Amino acid sequence: MLGAGFTRVLPKAMKPTILWFRQDLRLADNPALAAALQRGSPVLPVFIWAPDEDTDWPPGGASRWWLHQSLISLQRDLETLGSRLIIRSGPTLQTLHQLCRDTGAPAVVWNRRYEPAIMTRDRLIQESLQAVGVETESFSATLLHEPWTLRNKSGKPFRVFTPFWRHCLSLDDPPAPLPAPERIPASVSRPATLALDELGLDPQAPWTEGLRAAWQPGSVGADARCRRFLEEAYPEYGDRRNRPDLFGTSRLSPHLHFGEISVRQIWHGLRRRAKARGVSSGQWRNSQFLAELGWREFSHHLLFHFPQSTHEPLRAEFSKFPWRTHPEGLHAWQRGRTGYPLVDAGMRELWATGWMHNRVRMVVASFLVKDLLISWREGASWFWDTLVDADLAQNTLGWQWTAGCGADAAPYFRVFNPTGQGERFDPDGDYVRKWCPELSALPVKWMHRPGEAPAEVLRQAGVEIGVTYPAPIVSHSIARNLALEAYARIKG
């Protein structure tokens, strides 16, 4: 037994490589894991909870819940292969140093993240560990292409999606995904670990019940969802992707954010599917679904080159936009009580499941920034806390796009009509009927415009405007004109 102050000296071959897990919670196609195994020494998997190091953007409530479930899944997968996840709470730099001292680990490997604060922190960690003789290496596991490798013909960052994605498609396919290992050699050193519950990620609150019913976090859930999408929904993706009432989208976004599945796995899954069905490379590479993965790439490209965009508009003239302070309107929007059924259905779906259909996201975002003239920052903050797929790059891109102040943004005069959008993309009212059950007995004709329904229709449906369902909190036609006036002023 070792005395106080002494560290066990292990043979070099027994000293573990520390594998630092972050947003790469999978064993298949994990380059850092593969590199750790190639070193021929035991592997010590580590997860460090340090939300304060995300500066202004620590994970929100829904993200924390998902992370808890995903770590449970990762623990189970590691144990199946003979390994064990060490869980610690930050600060990260001191924790890694301590683990290296306690285990004699000569190296730490990880997969890269691209948020500005995290990249700065990771550079400091790398320099500090190397200064005491610990080898470090990071790997690309999140994106198809590293953001710093993509430039337009002028040598500048792309700011428009179409040429950006055209350039990406001109490059070689990403490497084939790495298989999951059959075994992970366990470290002889058994450093202390926290129990996952000690991190306090899962509040076990009533609001998490809907999340539990809607999702299966972890790599097994990610693989199952991907297979189901490719087989059942992908063939009609182009026609169904804008219909929130149908199974038409992949819902892979939270699995991608937490790295339970890689974008390379999805890319090559599409490629295999196309090959099996005789679809040409040109056809599937130009598919709408692959373009959605392209938007994900584009968002990280923008955040890397324009890190200030999380708080500041990319288009400088929008710094003078006359946003309103409107607490009552913001609260009504957050709770799905605006009097516009498609908006309310979307916000209620978000609250119940931590997710919202992309078409509906655009509509509810447009309503906040253009009908209510409330800053996109308020919307980004609410989404950040309530979305299970809250991703800093994509959240920033989406809100700045809708507000008209970002790269490749929607033109200022594009103001979504929430009633028209509902009638077009939820034509039978099934989406609204699910999330706004107080309207379920209305005829389809009035489902998206209950405030205009005849009194007898409302009576028969058991709907009382202003009582059982709110009256519209704003007139869309008036609000649209006010928004256009405000946008015209800053444009001038």
Question: CA 299 to CA 394: how far, in whole Å?
Answer: 5
Q: What is the pLDDT of residue 10?
A: 55
At 458, which CATH number?
Answer: 1.10.579.10
Question: CA 401 to CA 330: how far, in whole Å?
Answer: 20
Q: What is the pLDDT of residue 341?
A: 98
Q: What is the pLDDT of residue 281?
A: 82
Q: Which two tokens stand for residue 68?
A: 């808890």
Q: How many domains does the chain have?
A: 2
Question: CA 284 to CA 274: how far, in whole Å?
Answer: 7
Which residue among 141, 174, 195 closes a domain?
A: 141
Q: What is the pLDDT of residue 4?
A: 36
Residues taking part in catalysis: 292, 295, 323, 358, 376, 399
In a domain, 247, yes or no: no
In a domain, 311, yes or no: no
Do 318 and 490 meet the contact criterion of CB atoms below 8 Å apart? Answer: yes
In Å, how far are 48, 66, 261, 378 from 255, measured between CA atoms?
A: 19, 9, 6, 25
Query: What's the farthest any 2 CA atoms get from each other in the chain?
Result: 86
Q: What is the pLDDT of residue 295?
A: 97
Which residue among 118, 141, 164 closes a domain?
A: 141
* pTM, entire model: 0.95
Range of the domain at 430: 316-491
Which residue among 85, 110, 141 closes a domain?
A: 141
* 246-260 tens-digit pLDDT: 999 999 999 999 999
Do 14 and 103 meet the contact criterion of CB atoms below 8 Å apart? Answer: no
In a domain, 409, yes or no: yes
In a domain, 184, yes or no: no
Q: What is the pLDDT of residue 321?
A: 93
* 83-127 tens-digit pLDDT: 999 999 999 999 999 999 999 999 999 999 999 999 999 999 999
Q: Which two tokens stand for residue 172?
A: 């070689």
In a domain, 235, yes or no: no
Q: Which residues of the chain have pLDDT under 50?
A: 1-8
In a domain, 281, yes or no: no
DSSP class per residue in 306-329: -GGGGTS-SSGGGGG---B--HHH
Q: What is the pLDDT of residue 490?
A: 86
**Number of neighbours of residue 274 by Cβ within 10 angstroms:** 16
Q: What is the pLDDT of residue 189?
A: 86
At 109, which CATH number?
Answer: 3.40.50.620
In a domain, 301, yes or no: no
Q: What is the pLDDT of residue 181?
A: 98
In a domain, 419, yes or no: yes
Question: CA 327 to CA 333: how far, in whole Å?
Answer: 10
Backbone angles phi, psi at 373, to 5 degrees: 55, 35
* CB contact set of 128 (below 8 Å; sequence gap of 6+): 93, 97
Q: What is the pLDDT of residue 119?
A: 96
Q: What is the pLDDT of residue 193?
A: 97
Do 42 and 186 meet the contact criterion of CB atoms below 8 Å apart? Answer: yes
